Amino acid sequence: MNIPAEFNEIRPYTPEELPQIYEELIADPAFRTVVESVIPGVPFEGLAMKMRLCKTNLDFQKAFFYGLLWDLVKKTAQTLTFDCSQLSDLTRNYTFISNHRDIILDSAFLSILLIDKGMTTVEIAIGDNLLIYPWIHKLVRVNKSFIVKRGVNMRQKLEASALMSRYMHFALKEKHENLWIAQRQGRAKDSNDRTQDSVLKMMAMAGEGDAIDRLKELNIVPLAISYEYDPCDFLKAKELQQKRDDAHFRKSPEDDLINMQTGLYGYKGRIHFQTSACLNQELDELKKRNLPKCDLFTAISETIDRHIHSRYRLFEGNYVAYDLLMEDNRFADKYDAEDKLRFGKYLEQQIAKVDLPQKDNTFLRHALLTMYANPLINQLKTAQQ
C-alpha cells in the first residue's frame, strides 16, 4: 500500500519495515532484558527466530501479545468479558473511543477481545511522553500504535493534530483498520470520565464535508471499560495529593514507567468492556439541530459520555464506596457485610502503599472512595437524563 510520506514519523511500521526493526530490537540489550523477564525460561534466540517469522504487525500481535495478555488476565484478573452485541456489523471498521483506566491495557485488552470476535486489532493512539526508551518507541509501532505528539507549542500542536486526524481517516478508510483513542488526554485520576471536546475537534479536522460528516467517516463507537480494582489507584491518589500540595507538580518519565508496571502486574478483579452502537445515526440527529460549532462538539461529547456512563459494569466495591463517601446506606442491598469489610481492608492496603513524607491519610482515603464511587455517580446521573 502507498502510504503518504507525511505519516512516516507517527504511523505504525509497515510490514516491509519490520525485518529491520526486529533486528534493531534483538540487538538492544535493554529490550532483551525486558523480554527475558516477561517470558522467563525461554531462550532469547528462540524468541528472536519467532519474531523474524512474523511478516505483519498482526502476525506479531498474535504470535506474542495475544498469548501473553491472556496469561496476564489469568494471573492478575478474575475475568475479562466483552459485550459488543450493539455493533450490528462486525465486518466494518470502527474508531473506539473509551474512558481510560490503564496506560497499556485498555487498548491491549480490546485488541485480544476483538481477535476473539473475528475482528482485526486496533491501531492505538499513544502519547510520545510514554516512549521513554528507544525500544519502547519501536515496539509500540510494531504493535500498531500511532504517535500523539505532546509537549509542543501551540502552532506545532495544531499541525500535529491535523496530521493525526488525516492519519486516522486514512487508516480507517484506506488501510481498513480499527482505531482506539482515549476520550481525553491522560487518565481521569478520579474516574470521573468526561470526553474532551478537543479530542473530537482533532478527529474532525480531516475528511470531507462538515464536522458531522467528517466524524461519521470514522464510525465512532463509545466503549465503556470497567475494572473492579484499579492497581494504580494508590498512585493516582498519591498524584492528587502531590498536585494539591504543589501546584507545579508534574509526573516524571519514571513515574509513568511505575504506573505502566503497576497497571500491568497488579490485581484487577473482574474486567468488562462494553460498546454502544456506532454513533452515526445519533450524529445525523444532532446535525438536524443546526447547533453552533462550539455547542455541537459539546453535545457530541455529552452523547459519548452518556453511552459510556450507562454501560459501566458496577461491582460491590463501587456501591460500598458510594455509601461510605455519602455516609449513607442507599445501596446496602448491593453488598453484604463481608463485601464491605473486604473493600475497607483493600482501601487500607492501598493507602499503605503511598510513600509521601507528608502523607494525608484522610485525603487519600477520600480520593480512593471518590475514584470508586464516580462510575456509579455518573451512571445515576445518566439514568436521570
Please, what's the b/e burial string for 43-73 (b: 16 or more CB within 10 A of its CB; e: otherwise)?
eeeebbeebeebeebbebbbebbbeebeebb
In sequence order, the 6+-apart residues with CB closer than 8 A to the CB of 36 are 44
Residue in 81, 315, 297 with CA at minimum distance from that of residue 197 = 297
pLDDT tens-digit series, residues 100-153: 999 899 999 999 999 999 999 999 999 998 898 999 999 999 999 999 988 888
- Asked if 203 and 182 count as a contact pair (C-beta separation under 8 A), the reply is no
Rg for the chain, CA atoms, rounded: 21
Looking at residue 377, its pLDDT comes to 98
Looking at residue 294, its pLDDT comes to 85
* Residue 187 cell numbers, joined: 487518565
User: Mean pLDDT across the chain, nearest whole number?
Assistant: 96
pLDDT above 90 for 332: yes
Domains annotated for the chain, with CATH where assigned, are 5-231+266-313 (3.40.1130), 317-384 (no CATH)
Binning pLDDT at 50, 70 and 90, where does residue 62 land?
Answer: very high
Mean pLDDT of 364-378: 98
Cα atoms in the 13 Å half-sphere on the side-chain side of 99: 30
Amino acid found at 368: L
Looking at residue 151, its pLDDT comes to 80
pLDDT tens-digit series, residues 235-291: 999 999 999 999 999 988 889 889 999 999 999 999 999 999 999 999 999 999 999
Looking at residue 130, its pLDDT comes to 87
pLDDT tens-digit series, residues 197-241: 999 999 999 999 999 999 999 999 999 999 999 999 999 999 999
* Residue 344 cell numbers, joined: 475497607
Q: Percentage of the chain surpassing pLDDT 90?
A: 93
